[in-house]
Amino acid sequence: MAPTRDPFADLLHPRSRQWEQAQRTGDLCSLTFRGIPRTLRKDLNAIAKSLGAGQSDLAKVLLEYAIEAYRSGTLRIGAAPLVTKNSLFLDNEKRAAE
């Protein structure tokens, strides 16, 4: 009688991450951001649909624009301390909260 294969054997050996590593070596990479409010995702989807573009393409354009605005000083972002970490906000949001 042949020995049975342990169903948990794959859990004991780390899987190869070669494919993931190969995907990160190029200029393009795939990212997932957590903590994005549902309303913001719906707005992103609606704008992308109205432009006939994909959400990823729109997100890329908006991130590029925001980074350039931040570097040029047009977009100012500060950090507000929370109990466990810092939270980012736009300067005008801070003034409105005070």
Q: Which letter, b or e, does each residue of 49-83 get, where b requires 16 or more Cβ atoms within 10 Å of its Cβ?
A: eeeeeeeeebbeeeeeeeeeeeeeeeeeeeeeeee
For residue 43, what pLDDT is reported?
94
Q: Structural domain boundaries of the chain?
A: 38-98
What's the whole-number mean pLDDT along residues 79-93? 66
pLDDT at 49: 95
Distance between CA 95 and CA 98 in Å, rounded?
Answer: 5
Do 91 and 78 meet the contact criterion of CB atoms below 8 Å apart?
yes
Region 56-81: mean pLDDT is 90
Q: In sequence order, what are the beta bridge partners of 87?
A: 80
% the chain with pLDDT above 70: 61
3 phi/psi in degrees, rounded to 5: -65, 145
pTM reported for the whole predicted model:
0.55
Nearest to 41 by CA among 67, 24, 62: 62
The pLDDT, as a whole number, for residue 71 is 96
